[in-house]
Amino acid sequence: MTCNHKKEQSSMIHPLLLWGLITVFCVGNPTSPAASIADDPFLQEYREAYPIPASDAANDVRAIAVDQNGWIYAATKNGLFTMRNGEWIKDSGVTNGPVFNLFVDQNGDVWIGAWDGLYRINKTGTSKIADVDLPITIIVSTADGMIVMGPDGACQQNQNEWRRIDERWSRNVRAAALDPNGDLWIATGVGLYRQNADGLRRYYRGDELISAELNALAVAEDGRLWIGGLGGIDVYENGTRTASFTNKEGLPYYDVRSLTFAPDGTLWAGTALGVARFDGVNWSLRHSRRWLLSDDVRDIAFDAEGAVWIATAGGVSAIKKRVMTLAEKAEYYLDICLKRHVRPPGLVEKCFFPDPNDLTQFLPRDDDNDGQYTAMYLAMESLRFAVTKDPQAKANADQAYDALEFLQTVTQTDGFVARTVVPATWTEMADANEKVSPAEAVERRVHDPRYKVVETRWRPSVDGKWLWKGDTSSDEITGHMFGYLFYYDLAADDAQKERIRRHVGKIMDHIIDGGYVLRDLDGEATRWGVWSPEKLNHDPDWQVERPINSFEILSFLKTTYHITSNEKYQHEYINLIENHGYAENVRRPKAYGLSERTHIDDELLALAAPGLLLYENDPRLRSIYLEGLTWAYRTIEQDQNPFNHFIFALVGGTNFHLEDSVAFLRDCPLDLRQWTVDNSRREDIQLVRRPMLEPLQLDRMLPPSERGVMRWDKNPWEAVSGDFHDAQGRLESCGVFWLLPYWLGRYCDLISSPGS
């Protein structure tokens, strides 16, 4: 197998794999090694959570501020808290009751508006302003001194004295700001007020504001006033509205709670659905527990280091940035994977945090696709070894292969493969053994005539150390074959290659001898392990699987023939093509009706494609396969899926969205926990029933930072993504979904090494 690393692995190249080299880079492909993307450093955003441990009321944060020392101040329902050296400390000099607002003046003094008046923190400590005996919710600095406001009135500072002022604006005050002309603007629940030398004017009509329910004001560097409230944002220039932003202009949510301009001029809008950002052209959204302790955002502040501090109804979150390369990001993900996601006997998948706030304590979790994902990890580390020659990559690949081989030998059969294994001491697994009554079995078959009763899913190993899971699916075999292919060509030594030959031949013989089905210990086909002509070509209940399963079995046979050189497998391959029409079956290699489509098939095609297309040297057959795969790829090319993009490139596809792939790899968050990310409430997108009828999907592709953690068998268009059963971030992905396409891109020289 090769793309462009001939010098590093020329001894491993098989003649049939020259098709990959010739086709990828010599058939008019606009993306070639010369057009590869450099791994330049980029800014990687990440989130840190800073809940206040005192109480729930303390995490009801209303305002946030950063002083000149870099100390963070949080105004909460339960008083004022200050963060120093990463720890929250309650300021005993400020009320225990609600604190509403914070303001840092040019001298570095911190002003605190509370239910019982006004406080100040300066070099001498914390003090209460005796002359202000009103609840204070708004603090603003003017040329004539500070003005503070609340529901019971307003006071103005005159040097060291404070006096009540006769305000004529609504006392339902929400925000205040001073523009470059010195005009005072006040946002209220009943409109906008402007106070200057000409007097007081109120703006509240529909031709002046989106709505009169206002919450936020911010003055941009160019002097324009930005006004946020229920319904969106208005922009004023010299007292006249010049622009508005609602969902039609890309604002993600209609309920704007705060507005703050970052030092670089980006607008950060706190909303009831997270933080919406506007760079002058595009809007983006940071929401869900992946980014914020609560989507109910009240205030935003920036520190000198570039961190963004966000006050929410559930505590304080910080969004920070670090400079990274893709190679450094790969190291970061791999470190997480090796620390938390490789479990005995070497399987790779999710882990679980009993306490989501403590990532040092975790438990492994089994999954139906443990074998498939371990095989994808095997391919990933084989690719990494081919690129870097890192002995640790080979050691990791060796361990993964041993685990996959064990999934077969643990069954004590002639070639049946277990889905997964767990230690015999485990008592909680994804699917328990169950008793199914005859009536219940019929009930299930009414809805699915192919339903198979499998009461014993878990069986003990002969030595009693393990429980292994049966009813293995076609997905698992497809994943296994994909992993063996890359390991055999790129990482295995001669002794290991001999083991692979015996092992792969065993599995393939079991399938062939079973009549092209995967027979479980009961002698019957597993629920999904069916590739026989009788079922695929002649049973109407299998017509949906006909194209993808035909593609899979041809790939299995071609891969096995390549690895073993046994003509038996080539003969079976030709038999399925010439006598059963399997090549014609794959001209459209997946179901594509709205009710039939699934991204599982897209992933399976990507896993099966190298085994079929790279090893086929018959131009007619290869043309059919590439025609089918190209058609299938065009149906999902907008999915921003670097795994599909790079597999398509590897086997000879053109126009495979290299820049889109790298954009995904860069934007994908460092946090791999499977937070629930609900985009169904967003105002800037529409909910649709495409490309599948279920579930509800979005009418445009969101960047990965605004979606849940991906697995490539999931639908990236889903309105609600992530783990639907636990919104606390207890499940974490192993990161293979990212690492595999990254190393495939490096292997094919689509992504350059850092500094090259």
727 is a domain residue: yes
71 is a domain residue: no
The tally of CA atoms less than 13 A away on the side-chain side of residue 525 is 17
Signed CA dihedral, 514, 516, 520, 526: sign only: negative
749 is a domain residue: yes
Residue 640's region, left for phi above 0, alpha for psi from -120 to 50, else beta, is left
639 pLDDT more than 60:
yes
724 pLDDT more than 50:
yes
Strand runs labelled E in 586-661: none
- Which alpha helices (DSSP H) does 651-732 contain, by range? 658-667
For residue 33, what pLDDT is reported? 42
671 is a domain residue: yes
Structure-derived torsion over alpha carbons of residues 639, 645, 651, 653, reported in degrees to the nearest 10: 80
Summarised one tens digit per residue, pLDDT across range 670-714 is: 999 999 999 999 999 999 999 889 899 999 999 999 999 989 999
Residues facing 347 on adjacent strands: 343
670 is a domain residue: yes
Cβ atoms 463, 358 nearer than 8 A:
no
Average pLDDT, the chain: 93
Q: Exposed, middle or buried: residue 461 (CB in 10 Å: 0-12, 13-18, 19+)?
A: middle
Q: For residue 80, which amino acid is it?
A: L
Of residues 33 and 217, more confidence is placed in 217
Summarised one tens digit per residue, pLDDT across range 95-119 is: 999 999 999 999 999 999 999 999 9
| C-alpha R_g of the chain | 31
403 pLDDT more than 60:
yes
Query: For residue 268, what are its two tokens?
Result: 């950060």
pLDDT level of residue 623 (50, 70, 90 thresholds): very high
Work out the percent of the chain whose per-residue pLDDT is above 90: 90
695 is a domain residue: yes
Backbone angles phi, psi at 399, to 5 degrees: -65, -40
**Average pLDDT for residues 343-349, to the nearest whole number?**
97
332 is a domain residue: yes
Q: How many DSSP H helices and E strands does the chain contain?
A: 17, 42
- Model confidence pTM above 0.75: yes
Summarised one tens digit per residue, pLDDT across range 469-514 is: 999 999 999 999 999 999 999 999 999 999 999 999 999 999 999 9
Summarised one tens digit per residue, pLDDT across range 167-183 is: 899 999 999 999 999 99
For residues 527 and 518, give the distance between their C-alpha atoms in angstroms, rounded to a whole number.
9
pLDDT level of residue 727 (50, 70, 90 thresholds): confident
Summarised one tens digit per residue, pLDDT across range 596-609 is: 999 999 999 999 99
Domain that residue 658 falls in: 29-41+326-341+646-756
For residues 438 and 419, give the distance between their C-alpha atoms in angstroms, rounded to a whole number.
26
Q: Give the number of domains in the chain.
A: 1
Cβ atoms 727, 733 nearer than 8 A:
no
For residue 1, what pLDDT is reported? 65
430 is a domain residue: no
Summarised one tens digit per residue, pLDDT across range 253-312 is: 999 999 999 999 999 999 999 999 999 999 999 999 999 999 999 999 999 999 999 999
Q: 3-state class of 249 per DSSP? A: helix
Cβ atoms 341, 350 nearer than 8 A:
yes
Summarised one tens digit per residue, pLDDT across range 545-579 is: 999 999 999 999 999 999 999 999 999 999 999 99
